[in-house]
Amino acid sequence: MAATIENIASALAKGQTTSQKLVEECLAAIKNPAGEGSRTFLNVAGEKALACAQAMDVLRKNGQAPSPYAGIPVSIKDLFDLEGEITRSGSTVLANAKPAVADATAIARWKAAGLIVIGRTNMTEFAFSGVGINPHYGTPKSAFDRETGRVPGGSSSGAAIALTDGMSHGSLGTDTGGSCRIPAVFNWLVGYKPTARRIPSTGAFPLSTTLDSIGPLGRSVACCAILDSILAGEAPNSPPVREVAGLRIAIPKSYVLNDMEPLVARAFENALARLSKAGALVREIQFPEIDEIPSINAKGGFSAPESLATHRDLIAAHRALYDGRVLSRIERGHEQSASDYVDLMRHRARIIAAFNGRMQDYDLLACPTVPIIPPAIADFEKDADFARLNLLILRNPSVINMLDGCSISVPMTHAPEPPAGLMLSAPTGRDKALLIAAAAIEKVLA
């Protein structure tokens, strides 16, 4: 049986396992010298996690567990504040920063539900790429083809590998242009990007204050739905059951269908065929607002100027400590004037309105999450190759951040086949409906 959040909660309720045992198993996986733990975690809670687990077991035994999911170990991306710890954001630049005085809101909500933080996971420095490479702390390898050594996807790289290797049972990431969905697709997982305003960003080191979204990675759509509901301050629930029949799915006739590797193209075609056979109404339609996005973002979009505003003083003091590939992307913010930024906001508002109107007749937008399978880490040794592949990996997921939508990646293939994901998206605020539909689609594609 898959180690989903629901299954683990059931085992805890029935006394078939304990929180202490779950934490001990995760810690053993992290410490496994043959595993990816040293590259996946930048800090491990260890004794603190075990003490929390023991406390949750006592509470459950006495009927006082704060939620059905209390005692389940989870990981958090290194850019979230934990009281008393330095938030490094995958960088050495902040190594001497002051420790956080409080938990990030997202962390506080998970803790209030009884989830146990097992440690902080590795990430792209300051979350600024979709590849997952980190020159400071090492790069955890994708669960696919470990012998070759393939990129895990970013920026929430460690969040994915913690799940695939049994080092946690839920992971917290952020998604500014795909950073939950990309590592999910590259590791046969599910990654969710909620409507940005759904989860407070307090205590999360920003990349783009306009585009940043806080979301979970899990082993199923239900895992992500449960973790997301806690993050949103709602009662935790898995999605209600519905059938795929009758779902109206729009396929965008745009660049998001270009440059697909053959395996991804076959998986996408097969997924659409299976959904149609199950009764979904699949239609190809034009989305001119999507085709406008590259030209609108030609000067670096929101991430460049907004990250430059955050990093300007840090760069002046610590330029040599930055990953050069991250630094160059931040400094693209110099290319925009104040009027350029105002134009960018105006164009975004216009295409969001157009997209939302076009989607009134559809439940979902569907396309491949990423058009390629995870490239080898060695493919990124040249800066030119890094830039090209990074843009290709980010291309499809970043569309939905720009359109202020919600989006989830579910697997189209399963191990040992190379990973490929189906990205399902909806307009802003339709999170609940999207998760219900995604759970139904996941069942068809399983």
CA–CA dist 13, 434 (Å, integer): 29
Radius of gyration of the CA atoms of the chain, in A: 21
In words, the CATH class of domain 248-445 is: alpha beta
- In which band, very low, low, confident or very high, does the pLDDT at 2 lie, cut at 50, 70 and 90? confident
Please state the rounded mean pLDDT for residues 144-151: 98
Side-chain half-sphere exposure of 168, counting CA atoms within 13 A: 33
- Integer distance in angstroms from the first to the last C-alpha of the chain? 14
| Residues of the chain above pLDDT 70, percent | 100
In the predicted model, is pLDDT for residue 327 greater than 70?
yes
216 contacts 236 by C-beta, under 8 angstroms: no
Q: Among residues 289, 281, 290, 280, which one has the least CA distance to residue 257?
A: 290
371 contacts 395 by C-beta, under 8 angstroms: yes
221 contacts 190 by C-beta, under 8 angstroms: yes
In the predicted model, is pLDDT for residue 13 greater than 90?
yes
Residue length, the chain? 446
* Tokens 């970043």 -> residue: 398
Please state the rounded mean pLDDT for residues 268-286: 98
The pair of structure tokens assigned to 238 is 């898995």
- Model confidence pLDDT, tens digit, residues 112-145: 999 999 999 999 999 999 999 999 999 999 999 9
pLDDT at 20: 98
- Model confidence pLDDT, tens digit, residues 155-214: 999 999 999 999 999 999 999 999 999 999 999 999 999 999 999 999 999 999 999 999
Please state the rounded mean pLDDT for residues 16-28: 98
Which segments of the chain belong to CATH 3.90.1300.10? Answer: 5-231, 248-445
Give, in degrees to the nearest 5, the angle at Cα 193 between 413 and 414.
10
- Model confidence pLDDT, tens digit, residues 351-408: 999 999 999 999 999 999 999 999 999 999 877 789 999 999 999 999 999 999 999 9
- Model confidence pLDDT, tens digit, residues 33-88: 999 999 999 999 999 999 999 999 999 999 999 999 999 999 999 999 999 999 99
- Model confidence pLDDT, tens digit, residues 92-116: 999 999 999 999 999 999 999 999 9
pLDDT at 1: 56
The CATH code belonging to domain 5-231 is: 3.90.1300.10
Q: Which residues are catalytic?
A: 77, 155, 179
From the number of C-beta atoms within 10 Å of its C-beta (0-12, 13-18, 19+), residue 61 rates as exposed
221-231 vs 431-445: helix crossing angle, rounded to 10: 160
| Residues of the chain above pLDDT 90, percent | 98
Q: Among residues 402, 438, 22, 446, which one has the least CA distance to residue 196?
A: 402
Average pLDDT, the chain: 97
pLDDT at 385: 84
In the predicted model, is pLDDT for residue 341 greater than 60?
yes
- Model confidence pLDDT, tens digit, residues 419-440: 999 999 999 999 999 999 999 9
170 contacts 72 by C-beta, under 8 angstroms: yes
- The pTM (predicted TM-score) of the whole model is 0.97
194 contacts 206 by C-beta, under 8 angstroms: no
CA–CA dist 52, 117 (Å, integer): 9
